[in-house]
Structure formats: structure tokens, C-alpha cells
Structure 1
Amino acid sequence: MTDSTATPRKGRPRNADADRAILAATRAVLAELGWGGLTMGDVAVRAGVAKTTLYRRWPSKNDLVVSAVAVLFDELEMADLGSLRADIEAVVRQFADLLALPESQAALLALFAEATRDPALRQRVREAIIEPQKCLVRQGRAAAQARGELPPDTSPAQAREDVDIIFDTIAGAVEHRILITGEPASPEWITRFTTLLLTPLTQP
């Protein structure tokens, strides 16, 4: 689902187990030491690999942390459950469960805080995390249109704007609920949120 690793370089084949260990170690160090305390050396020691191994895969700390966060979203999916309501509730529940994990919370908060100060990092977050996740919105929206639950697009620009707004609404609401207020996304909350989201979407 996401661009969870940097662009592969020519040479020795990638080791998936090593990649997973490195990305997990990155999130662990980030949770313990924060962005400022994280170094490539710390991650290499925690993952049990040589520091040069990290730099062959991720040329910078920014690339490494973005990949470590992006891979968390790989399991999110927009399953076609037969109705737009069911599809939205399912993806919101997956997203909420992901954000409830301590490693997800620490990694996301540190990454987003640093991105507010670093335009290049912010752009990398958009490319590797945000844009791939908008594919879920496009999939769910297309399925709902095929079922007749949503009207067809009037233009490509309108379609892009709708996807952006839907994504921002879902991501913003769930992240605020979990990361900012610390409240759980209960089944009742998800149902109510979905109802509020669907009302304007399904109006003629």
C-alpha cells in the first residue's frame, strides 16, 4: 500500500528480514529518544546490522524514519463490503487500531512535529505516506459510484478535490481523536462519525 522503503540501489539483493528489523528498531529508538536523539548508529546497534547497511538502504535519517512510519500503513485496505457505510467503518476501524499502538503514536507524532520545520521532509511524508493512502479513498469512492451510492464525477478536478476532502476529514478526525484527545474510537463513535460523513456525500 505504501512506499515503505527508499528506491533500491543496484548491487546486493535486499534482505526483507533485515529491513523489517531496521524499521522496527527505528520506531523503537524514536519512541525512546525522540527525533533529536535518534541516530543511524543507534538504529544499527538496535537492529544488529552494520551502519553501512543502513546507508545502503536509506541515505538519510529522514528517509529512514519516513519508511519506518510508512510501512505501518501497509496493512490498511479498503475492502468492498457491499456498501459505502460498511467500507468507511471498516477502514476507520483499521486506522484507529493502528494509531492506538504505542509505537505508531510515538513515531507519527515525532515525524509530524519535525515535518512542520522541514519542508523537504513534509514533501517526503506526502509522497510516501499521505498520497498512497489516498488510494484507499479512491477505491472506496469508485466502488460506491459503481453501486450507485455516489454520483459520477463531473470532472477530474472535482474528483481530486473530493478525494482530498474525504481523506483529510477521515485522517484528521481519527488522528485528533486518538493522538490529541486520547479518546478511543469506539464502535459507537465510528458509527456516528460515518453517519456525519455520509450525510453530505450521499445527498443529490
Structure 2
Amino acid sequence: MTAQQRRAPGRPRNTEADRAVLSAALDLIAEAGVEGVSIDQAAKRAGVARTTVYRRYATRDDLAVAALVANEAAVLVSFRVPDQPSPADLVATWSAGLSDPRARTLLRRMMSVPREHPELWAAFRAASGDSGDQGVHDLVVRAQENGQLATDADVEMVQAMLTGAVAVHLTNYPDDVSAEEVAAYFWRVLRTLGFRVTARSRGWF
């Protein structure tokens, strides 16, 4: 049970304050990593009292995990990723996210979390349900079933290489890259991995 679930009944939560606190925490992570997050700094940046944050999150890690989970959920909603995304949906999502400088900075910061804060990372993965990794895995399996990828392709390796392609783009490409340039990069990645990508399957591109 999380700290939020253990919270005693009381006044209805202020959703505007919730958003402000989580946004402030994400900004702090983007600027200085998890080490830069504190209850005091999040409260100051969000323009709320420290007690407002402490009522929601007992520790820095609770706040950081909640901010990262909320950010992942917002990405899925804002890019309208369907329950069963196609390669075109994946490219659309990554091109929209990786063409946003703030999102790129935040993702780069997150790349160090598994190594430097393994317990926090485990809590984040548990809270988010590994939705991102599972979505990519399911996409690869469906691509095989639909004839877009060879049936003997190593699903785990293809998934790892797709995820690795994101890391490569974050470290090797400028932050002012356009969505179209990101999309072109990932279509090249998919073709290189053996996806049978056609103009019809790409749809919008």
C-alpha cells in the first residue's frame, strides 16, 4: 500500500495543487536529476505550503515516483496511444515526445535512475505497471502475427534494440530536432530491424 493509499480521509484534494506539485517535481528532476528533488523545493516552486506536499507524499522518493508515473500517464493520453499500437503509432508517439526539448531532458535524467536509485526505479516500474515496456513487447509480437516482422525474429532482442534506439537519439541528436526528423529516424530503425514497413502501414507519414 502506498503512502497516498494510506492517507486518512479529510478535505477533498485540490487537483490544481496536485498538478502544480507534480509539475514542479518533474522540473526539478529535469534540471538536476532525482537528487535535485526535495519536498521544500517542490513546494516553493509549486507555490504551495510544505504541509500541502507532505500531506500527499511522505518522502522525496514518494514524490519523485508519483511525478514520473503522472508524466508517463500524461504522455499516453496526450499522444492518444491505443491499447494495441501499430508501428506507426509507436513512431508518432516517439517523434512527438523526442521533439520536445523538456521531455528529452527529463528522459536523459531518467536514464541514470535505474543505476543510481534502484529502489526508486523499482517503485516507479511497479506503480506504472511497466506499461511502456509491455506495449513495445506486444507491438513486436503483433507485428510478427501480422506479417510485418519475421516469425523467427528474437522478440526480446528487437524490443531491446528499439528501446536502445531511443537512448541513442537522446544522446547523439540535438534537442531542437523536429518531429519529422525523429519520425524518419525511427522508420529507418524499424526497417533495419526487419519490419516490413510500407507507405500504407505508415499511414500519416
TM-score by length of 1: 0.69
Q: How much has 1:96 moved relative to structure 2? A: 3.4
In structure 2, give the amino acid aligned to 1:171: T
Aligned match for 2:9, one of 4, 8, 11: 11
Q: 2 CA distance for matches of 1:165 and 1:70? A: 26
In structure 1, give the amino acid aligned to 2:173: G
Which ranges of structure 2 fall in alignment gaps of 5 or more residues? Answer: 197-205
Q: 1 CA distance for matches of 2:83 and 2:34? A: 35
Which ranges of structure 1 fall in alignment gaps of 5 or more residues? Answer: 82-86, 153-160
Deviations 1:54-98 (A, max 9, x none): 2232222122223222322223324657xxxxx113213312322
SS at match of 2:173: coil
Task: Determine whether 1:188 maps to 2:184.
Answer: yes
In structure 2, give the amino acid aligned to 1:182: Y
Q: Which residue of 2 aligns with 1:155?
A: none
Q: Which residue of 2 aligns with 1:94?
A: 93
Q: Which residue of 1 aligns with 2:200?
A: none
Alignment of 1:21-170 (within 5 A): 21-74=20-73, 75-76=75-76, 77-78=81-82, 87-129=86-128, 131-141=130-140, 143-144=142-143, 147=146, 162=155, 164-170=156-162
Aligned match for 1:173, one of 158, 161, 165: 165
Q: 2 CA distance for matches of 1:151 and 1:181? A: 29
> In the superposition, relative to structure 1, how do residues 56 and 70 fare at CA in structure 2: closer, same or farther (>3 Å)?
same
> In the superposition, relative to structure 1, how do residues 32 and 189 fare at CA in structure 2: closer, same or farther (>3 Å)?
closer
Q: How much has 1:31 moved relative to structure 2? A: 3.4
SS at match of 1:116: helix
Deviations 1:29-59 (A, max 9, x none): 3334444333211111211222222223222
SS at match of 2:193: helix
TM-score by length of 2: 0.69
In structure 1, give the amino acid aligned to 2:23: A
Deviations 1:101-139 (A, max 9, x none): 233233333343244123212322432457121232355
Q: What number of residue pairs does the alignment pair up? A: 182
SS at match of 1:49: coil
Name the structure, 1 or 2, with higher relative contact order (CA <8 Å, separation 6+). 1
